[in-house]
Chain A
Amino acid sequence: MYSQGLIGADGSTVEDEAFLEAFQKRIDAEQKIEPNDPMPEGYRRTLIRQISQHAHSEIVGMLPEGNWITRAPTLRRKAALLAKVQDEGGHGLYLYSAAETLGVSREELTDQLLTGAAKYSSIFNYPALTWADIGAIGWLVDGAAIMNQIALCRCSYGPYSRAMIRICKEESFHQRQGYEILLTLCRGTDEQKQLAQEAINRIWWPALMMFGPHDSESTHSDQSMHWKIKRFSNDSLRDKFVNATVPQADYLGLKVPDPNLKWNEEKQGYDYSDIDWDEFWRVVKGDGICNRDRMKARRKAHREGAWVREAALAFAEKRAAAAEAAKTAAE
């Protein structure tokens, strides 16, 4: 999601220079762009792509964690996890609504997800194998999401920016919950510490991938930065995340799975190994361990729910016709 949300975005646009200049003036003056304001087609298209891929990420993101609801180890943890997954569905709903303000329907966006035309964050193509993964997802995945989304709270498009402000509040709660799950494990038995260490081993690198390609490879970034859809570069956000997260891992007593991780006094930040970009692109392009399962689950839910949606629509139409007939009879 987030920085990955721009994958596949097309910012090319056809308006004349005067139009683009006037638009850019508003952007530079930090004015929020609202749904009925004039905007370049490229701006609209880029936002639809980014917001909808963000929404899809929330929806697909329900699957790995939802997989643990029925197995949560205590009732308190189960309640927190159910509430978290429900929040993610809620985020999906606001984001689809924000995308709809740009003149696209939720059905069209859902079709794009189900046909594979649109992407979702690569992180959700990794499995949640143990209870410790639920902690690590909250801590690292929601942590990386917050790093990106805090930046998006200042996005130039009003509805997206406002959705982000609300979402960030909930995400930081999720992150604390995740960290607290791991803290409990790290203070527990040897088996529990091992579960926690294995979880960070699995999820650390995929979490760093959430920030998207290197700035030099991020083809759509410049235009998006110019339009203030995106306000910080992928690499700068990734660095910020690493700098914030390594001390948290130290506090847990967990080892970050990177032999080259080292504090660099001069830049006041950590040096770390390069991401395995072959893996990144492989997973983005559909060959991660869970890509097929995730899409299969979404398509199955959509297919098996079709009769329910049709029934609801047919019922609403019957009701409307009956109300209309009653109105005509009364006149």
Chain B
Amino acid sequence: MVDKKSLFNYLLRLGDDQQILSQRLGEWCGHAPTLEEDLALANIALDLLGQARSLYTYAGEVEGLGRDEDQLAFLRYENDYVNALIVERPNGDFAHTITRQFFYSVFMDLLWNGLLKSSDETIRAIAAKAVKEVDYHVRHSAEWVIRLGQGTAESRERMVDALDEFAIYTGELFEMDALATEMAEAGVGVDLAALRPQWEAEVNNILTDAGLEMPKVNWMQTGGRSGEHTEHLGHILAELQYMQRTYPGMTW
């Protein structure tokens, strides 16, 4: 029997990751380098938002205190958000946004595929929908990594910068802390550390095609899973929670 509180916290991690990245991608709307990319980034943001909604709704049911998706999405304190740091990092230029999406989507592709075998029926159902979506997210971002890596000297230089910025946030995705271990052992979750070799192989394949390489990382940043964030999350929440905090308790 899985501990309800643990399952709840596990679902929040997954939900927060999708929600915060969706929020970041939503910032691009109307400002992308081409109209096609405006549509593509909004499309990915919508997929992630849909996943977040399913995860929060289920988390609320598991918790059993009557909290719905919105109460979980909007009405927690900053250190109660347990997303990985990579998703809260600012959009930067297009190369930064693509690099973040690429690292993250390759990871989520492996994770959702693993969650297809979860012992939890609802998680399996959410994963079954998500695998189709994330497949596109990987293709979209990988194609851009190659295009930008091989495109012009400037685009290559921007990709090198972006890889350097985001590489240090990739280690956290694979961390097996007590909760991740408990969920993996219960068959609900996935052994994240075991996904890492495949993630590295896939990422390196694409980077090789792009004429780029993964920078050497001395120290992987961490903290998101325990609510210790970068300086950026507070600003994200200030916007995200604005309406719910300004007009508390109303129906929209």
Contacts and interface: CB of A to CB of B under 8 A. Distances in A.
Contact-residue bracket for chain B: 35 or more
A181 B250 CA distance: 13
Given A307-B158, A308-B33, A73 B244 contact: yes
A301 B35 CA distance: 10
A191 B26 CA distance: 27
Interface stretch (A21-29, A36-44, A61-69, A273-281): A61-69
A309 interface: yes
A301 B32 CA distance: 6
B94 A305 contact: yes
A312 to B, nearest CB: 6
A300 B250 contact: no
Majority secondary structure, A binding face: helix
| Interface range on chain A (Cβ under 8 Å from partner) | 35 or more
A75 interface: yes
Contacts of A76: 53
A189 B246 CA distance: 13
Contact of A62 (B30, B36, B46, B53): B30
A263 interface: no
B147 interface: yes
A104 interface: no
A284 B14 CA distance: 47
Interface in A246-280: none
B42 A86 contact: yes
B251 interface: yes
A58 B243 CA distance: 26
B152 A82 contact: no
A320 interface: no
Interface in B31-63: 31-39, 42-43, 45-46, 49-50, 52-53, 56
Given A70-B240, A304-B93, A78 B155 contact: no
B212 to A, nearest CB: 13
Interface in B142-171: 146-148, 150-152, 154-155, 158
Contacts of B46: 79, 82-83, 86
A72 B243 contact: yes
Contacts of B136: none
Given A90-B39, A305-B94, A73 B243 contact: yes
Most-contacted residue by chain A among B19, B42, B52 (CB, 10 A): B42
A217 interface: no
Given A82-B49, A85-B42, A131-B252, A314 B151 contact: yes
Given A305-B34, A310-B155, A315-B151, A78 B43 contact: no
A131 B147 contact: no
Contacts of A305: 32-34, 37, 94
B128 interface: no
Given A75-B70, A310-B152, A66 B53 contact: no
Interface string B6-33: 0000000000000100010011011111
A183 to B, nearest CB: 11
Nearest to A72: B243
A63, A185, A301, A307: most-surrounded residue (chain B CB, <10 A): A307
A311 B152 contact: yes
A172 interface: no
B33 A309 contact: yes
B148 A71 contact: no
A16 B222 CA distance: 75
Interface in B231-252: 239-240, 242-244, 247, 250-252
A66 B239 contact: no
Given A62-B30, A92-B35, A311-B151, A79 B49 contact: yes
Contact of A301 (B33, B53, B150): B33
Contacts of B109: none
A93 B151 contact: no
Contacts of B240: 70-71
Contacts of A311: 147-148, 151-152, 154-155
Interface string B59-94: 000000000011001100000000000000000011
Nearest to B252: A73
A71 B74 CA distance: 10
| Nearest 6 A/B pairs, CB to CB | A305-B33, A311-B151, A311-B155, A73-B243, A308-B33, A73-B252
27 contacts: A62-B30, A66-B30, A69-B27, A70-B239, A71-B242, A72-B243, A73-B244, A74-B74, A75-B53, A75-B69, A79-B46, A79-B50, A82-B42, A82-B45, A82-B49, A85-B30, A86-B29, A86-B43, A93-B39, A188-B250, A188-B251, A306-B33, A307-B154, A308-B34, A309-B34, A311-B154, A312-B151
